[in-house]
Structure 1
Amino acid sequence: MPRNDPFIPLPFDQALRNRRKRRGSLLLLVAGAGGLLAACNNPLLPITPLERTDILSEDRNSLFQQQEPISHPITLFEAMARALKYNLTHRVALMEKTVAQRQLELSRFDLLPQLSGSVDHRARSNSDAAKGFSITDQISSDSYSTSQDQAKSTAKLTATWNLLDFGISAIQSDQEADRQHIAGENQRKAVHALLQDVRATYWKAAGAQKLEHAIGPIIQQARQALMDARKVEQERLKPQVEILRYQKTLLEIVKQMQDLRHQLSLAKTEFATLINLPPGSTFQLDVPDDPALTIPEIKLTLEELEALALDNRPDLREAIYQVRISRGDVRKAMLRMLPGLEFQVGHNWDSNSYTLNAQWEDAGARVVWNILNLLQGPTAIRLAENKEELARMRRLTLHMAILSQVHLAYRQYLSDQRRLLAVEELDAVEQRLFTNYNLTAQNDAQSRLEYISAAASALMIRLQLFQAYADAQNSLGRIFGTLGVDLTPQVSRNDALPQLTENVRQSINNWNEGITLAPLQQVAETLVQSPTTRRKKLQSAAPPEEEKATIPDYFLDPQFLDEEGGSRKKRQEEPAAEASAATVALPPPPAPLAVAAPAAPAPVAVAAPTAPAPVAVATPVVTNKAETIPSRPPSPVPQAAEKKATKAPEAAPISLQEAPAEIVTFLRQWAKAWSQRLPEVYWSYYAGEKFQPHLHPSLEAWKQRTRDTLQNLTYLQVDVDHIQVDREIPAPLAALLHKGSIVYHQVIFREGYRSNHLQNFTRKLMILGKESDGWKIFREAPSPQPPPGSRQPAGYAIQVAAMDSAENGRRLAEEWHKRGFPAIAVASVDDKKRPVYSVRLAYFRGRDPAIFYRWLLLLATGVESVIVTADEEQLAGLPEVLLPAPPQAAQPPPDQAAGKPLPNKDGKDVADKKRPKPAAEEPESER
């Protein structure tokens, strides 16, 4: 037999070694099991006091790390920014949102097939041998055989995909996505609650800051009076009952002041906690010396507030997601009743030397069905459906609760406003009463007691005033929170604190504007829009920039921009004008009419009045048919010029850009001077006699109005932002203005105005000029906003004259053309059906550049003008504002053909093409 036959008896020494190996393996197995059991029974030690101290110390240090120190008084907007950046509750909500996002990412891997790999190594102490027995021959073999090595290795890589598990994992992934959305809504809810708390505690702490220094002197005077009263009692100078009542009153005043001091200290502690300042920190709030206790007015209806709240509230959105999650549970319960179809593909390797193929691939499919799921499936489905119905009922309950919260918040807002007004009146009376006590106080005990009581009462009423204002601010913040309006997307806690503060300020101002100035038109459209579109349009309570209404500046006449009155008059006259245009024809002049087309393009202008001489008169005309003004023996128009006159150009948009730093600084200093209510300082920013006030007959009248207004104010705060300039001045004006020593800029910005009588935001236009002593204001007016629902004109034109003589109109247009201005003469009919011939200089699509052009024209030439509106068909043939080309030489007059235009004697281009009927023109607002 061969030596390696496993059935040959082994030598004694080799058998002994094998027995020792088996004993060693057995000992290792027993030792490993004992170690495992010992590890399981090892108890966990508690945290030692030293470890606990280290953990708490580390936490304490991390609470206030990476926070910007407070180096100046804190404004409300900075307080909100600090709360968003450092408040721990908000950071927890952000972390929960991040965890939900990671959970969603992890659930996506469940959709992939299972890929598993294994490597196995086995060894035996002897061969795996066995005898054989033939079933057919009933013969057994005495020889042993084997097909396995004593030591071998195997490896396997398998991919398994279960169709049922895939369906359930897909539903679970959708549910995790909904949970991630819920975490986002919880984070929004945390922001709303945080901003509301900051707003309320800020004004409480502001009241504490204003009053805390007045409490000590009152307590000191009361204690001194109490000591004097006790001396009087000891000396028996007054009846005992009277002096005891006197002492009792003083002690009650001391107690009230001590309670008040404690209450104020709690307000500052609560505020410090919200912005994550260490307890006991010293800080100051940026509160005006004489703040205007005004609250933005809400002009939305309750129906609009309800629509906003239902669409934006995070609680209701969370309830909607919960219903969808419960619906997914129903689908999962249904899927679990089905059999699972499983597919498997694998690659195998075996080191067995007896195997023919050491590597091979296998594939298979199998169906797995848990029969018990058929029994419990209906019960599981009913349970899931009941949970879905429960989630739906909770959503309906929350729907009703939100409607109630909107009404309660609105009623509370109105109640707090009324209470604030009542306490303001009471405070005014109490302060006057205390002043009288102060003036008439005597040295006797009764007078001292009355004086101290009056001082304490005045202080308590002033505290009630600040508390009433804080409650009103809290009710306003509660309305914002109830509506679920968000900060703008630019607000990110990752920004630096100054940038975050500015973004918060703009967002809060947008909230105030959106709730105060104009009702949200998109709220009424929520029933006809898709949920996605509705959600995009209602992300903020503030209306889009172009929809924000403009409030008159406080220094301007309440009926500023008399174009509003003109617009109303125009809307009343439009039906009559259209009827007149349909029936009245232009009366034929004594000579054939032809339009004076300039050699260079000309712009659109505003309607002017009729006058016998070429003088600019501001009277509205009803245009019937725009025609060209006739002239004497004309020459034919060249074909190229005729095409150029009939082309309808597009006006270039206004080129706005960031304002230079010196202009920004100048405007902010101007706003600060205005806020200080010092007329002389405020007037120093204007160009003196060169400044023409808006809607005031003279500079002195404007100054008197300014002086009277400032004297009636006890508080004024003016801010400017969104400052932009337009450096491009039209060529004819630029050539004239650059001859002087003043550099002009066209400026557009937003002005925030807050006083004890008014709070609004206004978009303003200004012409600034830089003289030897710095920048000055030459023109100033609010940017006009069209009335809601009014028909907007296609463009505007600058009109310098209107007269009843066609010849005078033609000559005046030629004079303007010689000065470099692309002038055009237009024929129209006034409301009395009389022919009117006007001269227009420039055409614009927007109102703002037309106002700038009119101002610059007056500064450059001293000529007054008006702005007229025009429809699209009137703009055909009117050129853009461009520097005109030099006049061309006159063309020899060919034989006049029938129907061809008549040339004038000067050889200028003349066309007899009739213009479409223009709409009723309105005078520019400043006229």
Structure 2
Amino acid sequence: MKPLRQSLALGPLGMMLLVVSGCSINPQPLTQAEMDEFAADKQSRMISDEQVPVTQSIDLYEAIARALKYNLDHRLEVADRRLRNAEFEEAEVDMLPELVAKANWSDRNNDPFSTSITEEGSLENSLASTSADPGSTSGSLELTWDILDFGLSYYRAKQAGDKFFIAEEQRRSTVNRLLEDVRTAYWRTVAAERHLDELKRLERRTQNALEAARQQVRQGEGGRLEALRYQREMLDTLKTAKELRRDLFVAKNQLAALMNLPQGQEFSVVMPRHPELQTPITTLSPEAMTEAALRNRPEMREVAYRLRINKQEEKATVLEMLPSIRGYLGANFDTNDFLVNQNWTGWGARVSWDLMSLAQYPARQQAVEYQGKLLDARALALTQSIATQVYVAHKRFTSLQDEVEIAEEYHETSQRIFAQARNEYEAGFGSQREMVREQLKAILASLRFDATYAEMQGAFANVHAAMGLNAYDGEMSGQESLKEIEAALRDLWRERGDMVQTSRSTSATRVTG
């Protein structure tokens, strides 16, 4: 009670301070229980119940279709696109006139009598009178339209529309990156399922051969230098095998994450052949590819939209400096019995002008001008970056094509050498050490071939992404079924030169991811 008595003693100012202090807020951090509930909710909803379950081996284009439909990064971009569309529709509604309904009720404990005085200060009438009821109800329905607000709303709606297009370009960029990641992860998963068991056997054989070489060095049997060289060779083989195993081991987990499958869920991938990639796009000149990229890349289109938004902001800044003219038309009523006309229609116009906007205009105009220069500089920097990316993507893909051919030939040659060394050993002409050496080289050659092929598949998608070409049918709404998306993707990329042929099998070996 003491703070209240002190506040009352200070009068109205004290009461005001008391009210303000009572309205203060003391922020509280989230409790551990609240965070536990929040995290549990998000974890339970991470995998949607609407996801089509995996019932057969997944091929490349089903994997991409699952990523487009279920990947959380892509769903985030889709949600942002929907938000921008809703903001655009809201901005369009802002251009409409305002229709405001008002209702007022008032009452008092006595009549509102009043008297009046003359200019000289004497009472005009000693009898008090009134022209209003002690209590009354009034209301109105008023249609107003501000010409200045309409102009501003028009440009804001155009800006909101461009922000929607920016969200769509950002979604395109996410899809292109997603497709490249899925393509690479899929082929690395194929390599992993083909070779992980073999890679484990390779490591065991290398360890055995390495231990034998160490034993020979310790005991001083045979040529010591030759044994040390063999030991070094086995260590190199073991190091390479472990590096390949490390990269391949996580490929399936990466593919599962891209498709938004739970980590640890069992699934298998279709084991296709290694098709050649017939790529008509790479027959274009670097200049033509760069020109196409500058027209199509989501990043460039985004900057172009932002520049258009900035130009609209420049016009909106001029409008905000002008006076506001608001016309109104309204129907009114009042229950005051002393009024002769209790219902009436009113109309008119109101003009207001914020003169401070004139002083603010130069600074706002300068900010808009600098924003335009910044966006133009960003576009120039992007032009150089995109031209470099197109050139590098093209060179990387063609280089990897050559590397795949060499890796395939190296793999086939290593297999023939191993077969010959094994035949000689079994016939009693060759050494076991030589046979083990060639067997390890053949296995590593096969692993390197698959790893290089997976990298080339990623580079194939990267060429199209560097040029800004859609990774999916631009007419797709996202509401299509998984099968429809898969079929559309397969047709599109077949036209682009992907000759991959896959055959599914529901009885394929299932491996834990």
Deviations 1:832-857 (A, max 9, x none): xxxxxxxxxxxxxxxxxxxxxxxxxx
| Alignment pair present for 1:407 and 2:398 | no
CA contact (8 A) 1:253 1:453 kept: no
Offset, 1:451: 3.4
Displacement after TM superposition at 1:91 (Å): 0.7
Question: Hey, what's the Cα distance between the residues in 2 that align with 1:312 and 1:506?
Answer: 21
Partner of 1:62: 45
For 1:396, the equivalent position in structure 2 comes to 380
The aligned residue for residue 464 of structure 1 is 448
2: CA distance, partners of 1:407 / 1:240: 51
Q: Determine which of 499, 503, 509 is the counterpart of 2:488.
A: 503
Matches within 5 A, 1:793-832: none
- Cα distance in structure 2, aligned partners of 1:499 and 1:77: 11
- Structure 1: runs of 5 or more not aligned: 1-31, 517-715, 720-927
3-state SS, counterpart of residue 190 of structure 1: helix
Larger radius of gyration: 1
The match for 2:411 is 427
Shift of the 718–261 alpha-carbon distance from structure 1 to 2, 3 Å rule, reads closer
Residue 127 (structure 1) aligned to one of 99, 111, 115: 111
Q: Where does residue 318 of structure 1 map in the other structure?
A: 302
TM-aligned CA deviation for residue 464 of structure 1: 2.1
Residues 391 and 223 of structure 1, relative CA distance in 2, 3 Å threshold: closer
* Cα offset, 1:170, TM superposition: 0.5
Report SS of the residue matched to 2:110: coil
2:140 is aligned to 156
Aligned residue identity for 2:310 = S
Give the letter aligned to residue 415 of structure 2: Q
Displacement, 1:245? 6.3
2:101 aligned partner: 117
2: distance between equivalents of 1:434 and 1:322? Answer: 61
Which of 233, 249, 262 is the aligned partner of 2:246?
Answer: 262
Aligned 8 A contact 1:207 1:463 in 2? yes
Note if contact 2:278-2:496 (Cα within 8 Å) is conserved in structure 1: no
Residue 18 of structure 1 corresponds to which residue in structure 2?
A: none
1:280 counterpart SS class: coil
Q: How many angstroms does 1:210 deviate by?
A: 1.7
Partner AA of 1:304 in structure 2:
A
Cα displacement (A) at 1:220:
2.2
Q: Structure 1 pair 419/224, CA: closer, same or farther in 2 (3 Å)?
A: closer
3-state DSSP class of the match of 1:494?
Answer: coil
Give secondary structure in 2 for the equivalent of 1:341. strand
Does the 8 A contact of 1:225 with 1:448 survive in 2?
no
> Measured at CA, do residues 314 and 266 of structure 1 come closer, stay the same or move farther in structure 2, by a change above 3 Å?
same
| TM-aligned CA deviation for residue 718 of structure 1 | 9.9
Q: Please give the per-residue CA displacement for 1:552-572, whole angstroms capped at 9, x wherever unaligned.
A: xxxxxxxxxxxxxxxxxxxxx
Structure 1 residues 134, 449: CA separation in 2 closer, same or farther (over 3 Å shift)? Answer: same
Within-5 A mapping of 1:483-494: 483-486=467-470, 487-489=472-474, 491-494=476-479
How far 1:216 moved relative to its partner? 1.8
The 1:167–1:424 alpha-carbon spacing in structure 2 relative to 1, beyond 3 Å, is: same
The answer to whether the 8 Å contact 2:107/2:134 transfers is yes
Q: Distance in 1 between matches of 2:374 and 2:235?
A: 59
**Compared with structure 1, are the counterparts of its residues 248 and 406 closer, same or farther at alpha carbon in structure 2 (3 Å cutoff)?**
closer
C-alpha distance in 1 between matches for 2:331 and 2:337: 19
Report the identity percentage.
Answer: 28
> Does the CA-based 8 Å contact 1:352-1:358 persist in structure 2?
yes
2:192 alignment counterpart: 208
Partner of 1:73: 57
The CA distance in 1 between the partners of 2:388 and 2:209, in whole Å, is 53
- Aligned residues of 2:278 and 2:497 also touching (Cα < 8 A): no
1:205 to partner: Cα distance: 1.9
1:171: Cα distance to partner? Answer: 0.8
How far apart are the structure 2 equivalents of 1:169 and 1:490? 30
2:115 aligned counterpart, secondary structure: coil
- Report if aligned partners of 2:323, 2:353 keep a CA contact under 8 Å in 1: yes
2:159, 2:309 within 8 Å by CA — same for their partners in 1?
yes
CA shift for structure 1 position 54: 3.3
Which of 312, 337, 341 matches 2:325?
341
Partner of 1:27: none
CA distance in 2, matches of 1:40, 1:227: 78
Q: Which has the higher contact order (CA 8 A, sep 6+)?
A: 2
Could you say which residue in structure 2 is the equivalent of 1:185?
Answer: 169
1:365 aligns with 2:349: yes
Counterpart of 1:327 in structure 2 is 311
Deviations 1:364-409 (A, max 9, x none): 1122112222223233223323322332332233233333322222
CA deviations 1:322-376 (Å, max 9, x no partner) are 1111101111111122222121222222222222222222211122112222223
Could you report, residue by residue, the CA deviation over 1:395-454 in whole angstroms, capped at 9, with x for unpaired residues? 23323333332222222222222222222232232222222332234799x944443333
C-alpha contact 1:295 1:473 (8 A) present in aligned 2: no
CA contact (8 A) 2:78 2:171 kept: yes
Residue correspondence of structure 1 range 642-721 to structure 2 within 5 A: none
Bigger proportion of residues as strand: 1
2:244 partner amino acid:
L
Q: Aligned partners of 1:299 and 1:83: how far apart in 2?
A: 30
**Could you say which residue in structure 2 is the equivalent of 1:356?**
340
Aligned-partner Cα distance in 2 for 1:456–1:120: 92
Report the AA paired with residue 362 of structure 1.
Answer: G
Q: 1:203 to 1:481 in 2, by over 3 A?
A: same
Q: RMSD between aligned alpha carbons?
A: 3.2
1:561-607 CA-partner distances (Å, limit 9, x unpaired): xxxxxxxxxxxxxxxxxxxxxxxxxxxxxxxxxxxxxxxxxxxxxxx
Displacement after TM superposition at 1:194 (Å):
1.2
1:361/1:93 Cα in 2 relative to 1: closer, same or farther (>3 Å)? same
> Is the 8 Å Cα contact of residues 326 and 388 (structure 1) preserved in structure 2?
yes
Counterpart of 2:511 in structure 1 is none
From 57, 71, 76, the equivalent of 1:92 is 76
CA distance in 2, matches of 1:507, 1:138: 96
Q: Secondary structure at the match of 1:67?
A: coil
Report deviation, 1:139: 4.0
Q: Name the SS for the 2:101 alignment partner.
A: strand
Aligned CA distance change for structure 1 residues 406 and 501 (closer, same or farther; 3 Å): same
Relative to 1, partners in 2 of residues 1:349 and 1:481: Cα closer, same or farther, differing over 3 Å?
same
Q: 1:139 to 1:393 in 2, by over 3 A?
A: same
CA contact (8 A) 1:327 1:385 kept: no
Q: Verify the 8 A CA contact 1:420 1:469 in the aligned structure 2.
A: yes
Q: CA deviation at 1:302?
A: 2.9
C-alpha contact (below 8 Å) 1:293/1:469 kept by paired residues: no
Alignment-mate amino acid for residue 326 of structure 2:
E
With 470-479 and 374-383 compared, the bigger mean Cα shift is at: 374-383
Amino acid at match of 2:196: E
1:382 match: 366
Distance, in Å, in 2 between the alignment partners of 1:432 and 1:188 is 47
Instruction: Report what 2:4 is aligned to.
Output: none
For 1:376 and 1:212, the matched residues in 2 are separated by 68
| Cα distance change on mapping 1:421 and 1:53 into 2, 3 Å | same
**Which letter maps to 1:488?**
D
Does the 8 A contact of 2:279 with 2:496 survive in 1?
no
CA distance in 2, matches of 1:230, 1:395: 61
Cα distance between partner residues in 1 of 2:478 and 2:432: 55
Is contact 1:100-1:183 (8 Å) kept?
Answer: yes
Q: Secondary structure at the match of 1:134?
A: coil
- CA gap of 1:50–1:385, structure 2 versus 1, over 3 A, is closer
Q: Secondary structure at the match of 2:37?
A: helix
